[in-house]
Structure formats: C-alpha cells, structure tokens
Amino acid sequence: MYDAPQVSTPTHCPYCALQCGMNLRSLPGAGVGVEERADFPVNRGALCGKGRTAAAVLDARVRLGGPLVRSARSGELEPATWSEALAAVAEGLGRARGAYGADAVGVFGGGGLTNEKAYTLGKFARLVLGTSQIDYNGRFCMSSAAAAHHRAFGLDRGLPFPLEDIPRTGCVILVGSNLAETMPPALRYLTELKENGGKLIVVDPRRTRTAEQADLHLAPRPGTDLALALGLLHLVVAEGRVDEAFVEERTEGWEAARAGAMAHWPEHVERITGVAVPQLRDAVRMFCDAPSGMVLTARGPEQQSKGTDTVGAWINLCLATGRAGRPLSGYGCLTGQGNGQGGREHGQKADQLPGYRKLDDPAARAHVAQVWGVPPESLPGPGRSAYELLDALGGDIKALLLMGSNPVVSAPRAAHVEERLRSLDFLAVADVVLSETAALADVVLPVTQWAEETGTTTNLEGRVLLRRRAITPPDGVRTDLEVLHALAALLGWEKGFPTDPEEVFDELRRASAGGPADYSGISYRRIAEEDGVFWPCPEPDHPGTPRLFLDRFATPDGRARFVPVVHRDSAEETDETYPIVLTTGRVVAQYQSGAQTRRVEELNAAAPGPFVELHPRLAARLGVTEGQDVTVVSRRGRAVAPARVTTAIRADTVFMPFHWPGEGRANTLTNPALDPTSKMPEFKVCAVRLEAGSGTGATDAGTGARSGSG
C-alpha cells in the first residue's frame, strides 16, 4: 500500500468532478480540518463552500455508525451486528436469485464511488450474482455527451484537453452550465480567458452568475438547444466560415450534416428558441473570428430526450469551423459527479466492461474474462439503463443492492421510483448516511468516507487522481471493498474480491489494458508523484495523454464523424393545461440529492430549502410575491416551494433546484422520457402549471381556473 503522510495528508474533495486538491490536517484532540492545497493545478488552492466544509460529514453525529436491519416484529430499522447484516443481505439477494433467476437481482451504483469500488461492484454483479441488471446514477450525468463523443470522435473523455487550456483559447461557448454555482473554483478559467482577451458566450435560459460574466448571453427556451446549434451552423455555412481544409482532411459525413443545418435558417431558429437573429449572428462572429475556440456543454443540453443529438449538433459546429483536433480548440463536456468519468469506464454501467470496453464485444469479453479467470460465455450481456432498471423494480427485478446513490430524490418521476423501491422483495443499501433511499431498505450497511479510505478517481479532464486515507474510520463502519468481499464469500466466491484498494487498482490496470480507457501504465506511486496521470496511459513510461485528437481521432480511420441531426420537439411540450416549462438544476451550497450536504450546518444556512424561481410577469399573473408558496404541477405530481421572483429567468420558464426531498422535491415533477441512444431522462424540460399557495384549490397561473391535483 502506498504510504500517505500522517499529519497533513494531500487528497481531493469528495464532491464534484473537478476533484479539487486539498490538505487534511489533524486537529488537536480529534478530527481533521480542510486546508488549501495551492500546488494542485486544477484548483490552485481555491475551494468552494462544499469543499471547505467537507470534513463536517465525518462527524459521528451526522452519519451512520453501525448496520441496521429491518425488524420483522416492529417493521423498523434496528441496530444489528455486521455478521447479522451481511448474512441478511446474502440471504435476500440469494433468495431472489434462486427463486427467479440471476436477472431478478439488480445492482445500482454511484458516480461518487472510486474507480476501485466501481470496478469491484461491476465484477461482483457479473460474477457473483451473474446478473446483467447493473447501472448507476452517472447515467443521469453525462451519458448523452458520452454517446455523442463516441459517435463523432470514437472515444469519450469529458474534456479532451486540460482545464489550463481554456484561458488560452480565443472563444468559449458554454452551453447549459452555471460554473459559478456548480464548480466555483473553475470559474477562474473563464475569468482568465476574458483577461487574456478571449470571448465568452453563455447559453442558458437563466441569467445565472456565470451568464453575467459573458460577452454574449443567449437565453433559449429550454429544450431548444438543438435548434440553436443548428442555426449557428447554418450561419457558418451561409457566411462562408466553414474550414474547408479541415473538413476535407480530418472528417467524414459533412454533406449530410450540412443539409440538416441548412433547414434551420435564422428566422426559423428565432421562432423556435426565442433567441433573436442578431444575437445568432453575433455568436457566429465571435466564435469564428477568434483564432481558436471551444464548446463546453453540461447538463442543460444533455439531460434531454434528444440530448445525444443536441451535443452532436454542437460537435458539428466545432468540426465545421476547425475547432476540434487542434491546440486550444475542441468540444468538451463538464462532467458533474466526483467520479462520473471513472465510474462508467470500469464496469458499473449496463453495457460496459473495464477499460471502457463494450460488453457485447467478443474480444472485450475474452480479455476481461481472462483477467477474472472465468469463461467469456459466463459473463451476462448488457442490461437495462438506470431509469429502466429503477422502473422494473418489483416487476421482474425482485431484489436490489444499491451503493452510493439516493434515487428517491435524484431520479426522474421520483414518486414512482420511490414506489418501485418500496415494492421490492428485498433492498440493501450501502451508504455513509441514512439517506431517503436508505430509510426504505431492509438492510443498511454503513461504509467509510473519502477521508477514511484510499482510492482513485478520474476527474473531468481524464486525470486519474489518488485520494489518500487521512484518518482511521469509526469501528462500526467498513469499506465498500470489505462489504463486497464479505458478500462474495457468503455467496460462494472466496477469492477474487480483495479489500486492499491498491491490489484492486492493479487488477483494474490489467483489465483496462488495450481498452479505450487504458490505465495499465498508471500506478498509485506515479499518481502521487505527478499530481495525477491522464489516460490513456498504456505503459509505465508513457507520459499520459492530456490532449486527445491532435494527430488523429479515435475512429478506425482517424477521421471525425459529422452526424446529421435535425431539431425535434421535447418529449413533453406545453399546452393549455400545462403552459409553463420547468427546468431544474443546482445551487452552490448543496450537492446532488443533498444526502451529505444537507447535514452540514453552514451549507444549510446558505441554502436551507427548495424554491421556485419565476419571472415577475409570471408571478403577477399568479398573484404571488417573494417568499410565498407556489405549487408546481406536472403530469406526474406536484411540488410546493417558496417563490423566488427574478428577471434573471424567461417569463415562460420556472426553475427548481433538485437537492431536497419532501413536498419540495423537484424530481417529483420531471419527465423520465429517455434519449433513444444514451437513455438519459429529460430532467431539463417538462410542462407544468403553477398554483398560488400549497393547497389543491389554488388559482392556476396558466388558466385562471380552479384546479385539482394534475
């Protein structure tokens, strides 16, 4: 095991995909404090409020301290020994598998699990349980961008260049990202871009803190980003700004993509998006006049039922203008979750094996099976995507093992997902805290946290990092690797599931060797010495690959692929009954489902609960003022939260953050309509109506009538 310093331990934040560097220093008496770590290149010492307070969740008062098992007598979760809890999980999973077959057992993982945990969880599902039914909440993060990456470039890595390149490019188009609140330390890259004379264009239906920094803010109606990108490409063609030499030398499929764009003339796009033609022309001028440029997307365009095509349209814009495969230019995706990148590279995604290999590829199956010491034919095939898996609970999936996720709050159509979880014959949850999902479980297994264990994560740049153990975990908790090792043994697999994370990583390296995400040249010691190593890194003496595609793309012939796309409506458009568009997102002081950040006093003081952001004209129609309750009703349910009245949002749109359970749960409302390629749900667009107050007989903002429950 790589030995970490004992007094001050350099490590990384447990939250978003920046994976900011920090030091953990022992405090007098007990516990640790977070300190800045100026030598780490990603954040250079800067930390947001979540990072600064990350150690608060280590407090015994806010976390699970021992296993819980639901009592047959009382129906309540009651303390149990580890032996009792593990035996109950093995019995519950084994009973479902024995009665209904291997695919009656599901596994649901998380984008915050380390690479070692994600790898072991996928191996456990496919070998020990023999199930194909495994996916993870990272499907809800950047799966649309990943699918578009594969189609265009042959490889998916969030950013094909390091963050340090952003301030040196000529123009950035930032689509559907509010870095000032979701990744505050990264905002400095945009500030430095402007200080260096570069231009910033922000695409967002809200005038966020990030949009306020922009040279040009485009505010399209939610769900119309695809038309917007096509309209910009139309103008690139019409104004003679296509980089013909780049298109000829390094791409395929331009004519079909060009034809799709030409059907989206500026006036047509203005009618769809609400973005005025002069703004469209200004955006093209800024982007094309710059010597280099980047398009960066996030959840806004990706969390749609057409998210893959939407990202593909922005990639087409980059390719047509020669803004890809060149220094200081390219398309990138701002991954959200802490290990959203590594989490899908190594096996907890329904269709993938370690090394970003495809599960239905015979050569990939043979390679991984050889590392695991099993016949290739014993590996199950691809399973359901995340929402499809959750929707099937209680149907042909009878039991579920869930690690590091809280779908009761984070999944679309959350009330339905909660019902499905309740309908299971057996549910086991491994988590740090008693989340809303864990509270439904038959068995809850308390696991160690980031500061109490060693493991690797892969940040949004593709930089593989080492989180080091800084403190000894409490007696009542175990690592996820220890949990999976024990369960495997109880289910008949005495070997193959080590508990030492470095031993697991060395096996992961072998399993990834030769794959698209090749980690075989990376070691714990090398990561520590180099502040991370960029994959692919196929040999110990390979320098790593901070910049992809400069010589060739990862397709068989080395050429990027234009993918022809056309605008189409969202899965759910507004109508007389539901006349307003709801979009969802995050706030700076909370993270994802809030399971951990809602337990930090300082963060709760900054963001104590949900709200409904709406324009003054809409508020006047509704008859509400700042702070009054508003009920938001969709075809799936209703949520109630205080009004936040602001001109920073379109008058036809409302916004809700999704960090809270209960009556303000935004995902009660959201639409699970799936992108046909990525299987991403349409979190960002759904049709709603508004009612003043929290009762069912309130005045409706859309119709002026009395309304019931929607």
pLDDT at position 2, please? 40
607, 590 contact by CB (below 8 A):
yes
Range of the domain at 166: 142-333
Q: What is the pLDDT of residue 28?
A: 74
Q: Shortest CA distance to 115 belongs to which of 288, 347, 323?
A: 347
Q: Pick from 333, 353, 372: which residue ends a domain? A: 333
The predicted structure's pLDDT at residue 695: 66
Cα–Cα distance between 202 and 200 in angstroms, integer?
Answer: 6
Please state whether the peptide bond connecting residue 536 to the residue before it is cis, i.e. omega within 30 degrees of 0.
yes
pLDDT of residue 32: 86
Same domain? 276 vs 356: no
Measuring CA to CA, which residue among 61, 70, 56 is closest to residue 429?
A: 70
Domains held by the chain: number: 4
**Same domain (yes/no): 182, 326:** yes
Residue 521 lies in a domain: no
Residues 45 and 503: beta-carbon distance below 8 Å: no
DSSP code, position 203: E
Report the candidate in 614, 621, 672, 624 with the shortest Cα–Cα distance to residue 647.
Answer: 614
Cβ atoms of 237 and 320 within 8 Å: the answer is yes
CATH of the domain at 294: 3.40.228.10
pLDDT of residue 703: 36
Are 294 and 378 members of one domain?
A: no
Inter-residue contact 582 to 618 (CB < 8 Å): no
Would you say residue 682 lies in a domain? yes
The half-sphere exposure of 417 on its side-chain side, counting CA atoms within 13 A, is 26
HSE-up of residue 341 (Cα within 13 Å, Cβ side): 30
**110 and 51 within one domain:** no
Give domain status of residue 700, yes or no.
no
pLDDT score for 331: 97
| Contact by Cβ (8 Å): 262, 237 | yes
Show the tokens assigned to 84.
């009792």
* CATH code, domain with 55: 2.20.25.90
Tokens, residue 684? 């960002």
DSSP secondary structure letter of residue 379: S
Token code pair at residue 190:
């945009």
Same-domain check for residues 91 and 206: no
Same domain flag for 133 and 148: no
488, part of any domain: yes
> Is residue 323 within 8 Å of residue 291, measured between CB atoms?
no
Which candidate, 484, 467, 472, places its Cα nearest to that of 448? 472
- Contact call for residues 482 and 142 (beta carbons, < 8 A): no
Identify whether residues 592 and 631 lie together within a single domain: yes
- 132 and 146 part of one domain: no
Beta strand ranges found along 408-544 (DSSP E): 426-431, 443-446, 455-458, 463-467, 533-534
Residue 115 CB neighbours (<10 A): 28
Q: What's the confidence (pLDDT) of residue 702?
A: 46
Q: Mention every residue, 6+ apart, whose C-beta is less than 8 A from residue 213.
A: 180, 187, 190, 191, 194, 200, 202
Final residue of a domain: which of 32, 62, 92? Answer: 62
Q: What does residue 479 show for φ and ψ, rounded to 5 degrees?
A: -75, 155
Which residue has tokens 């234009």?
A: 562
Residue 702 lies in a domain: no
pLDDT < 70 stretches in the chain: 1-6, 29, 695-710
The Cα 156–Cα 536 span in angstroms is 11
What are the tokens at 368?
Answer: 């991984």
Cα–Cα distance measured from residue 638 to residue 623, given in angstroms and rounded to the nearest whole number: 19
**Whether residue 268 is found in the same domain as residue 220:** yes
Distance (Å, whole) CA 398 – CA 392? 9
State whether 226 and 180 are in the same domain: yes
Bridge partners for 459 per DSSP: none
Whether 156 and 261 map to the same domain: the answer is: yes
- Cβ atoms of 61 and 76 within 8 Å: the answer is no
3-state SS, residue 339:
coil
Dist CA 212 CA 178 (whole Å): 10
CB 273 within 8 A of CB 224: yes
The answer to whether residue 230 is domain-embedded is yes
- What CA–CA distance (Å, rounded) separates 579 from 618? 11
Q: How far apart are CA 695 and CA 116, in angstroms?
A: 48
pLDDT in tens, 217-239: 999 999 999 999 999 999 999 99
Q: Which tens digit of pLDDT belongs to each residue from 110-141? A: 999 999 999 999 999 999 999 999 999 999 98
> Whole-angstrom Cα distance, residue 397 to residue 400?
8
Quickly count: other Cβ atoms within 10 Å of residue 605's Cβ: 9
Determine contact, residues 315/331, Cβ cutoff 8 Å: yes
CATH number of the domain bearing residue 614: 2.40.40.20
468 part of a folded domain: no
Please tell me the distance from the alpha carbon of residue 358 to that of residue 351, in angstroms, as a whole number: 6
Where residue 427 sits, what CATH number does that domain have?
3.40.50.740
What pLDDT, on a 0 to 100 scale, did the predictor assign at position 708? 28
The secondary structure of 273-310 as a DSSP string is H---HHHHHHHHHHHHHSSS-EEEE-HHHHSSTTHHHH
SS3 319: helix
Final residue of a structural domain among 270, 301, 333: 333
The pLDDT value recorded for residue 10 is 94
Distance in angstroms (rounded) separating the CA atoms of residues 23 and 40: 10
Instruction: Verify that 353 and 423 share a domain, yes or no.
Output: yes
Q: In 10 A of CB 642, how many CB atoms?
A: 16
Q: E strands along 504-652, which residues?
A: 533-534, 560-561, 580-585, 612-614, 629-634, 637-645
Structural domain contains residue 611: yes
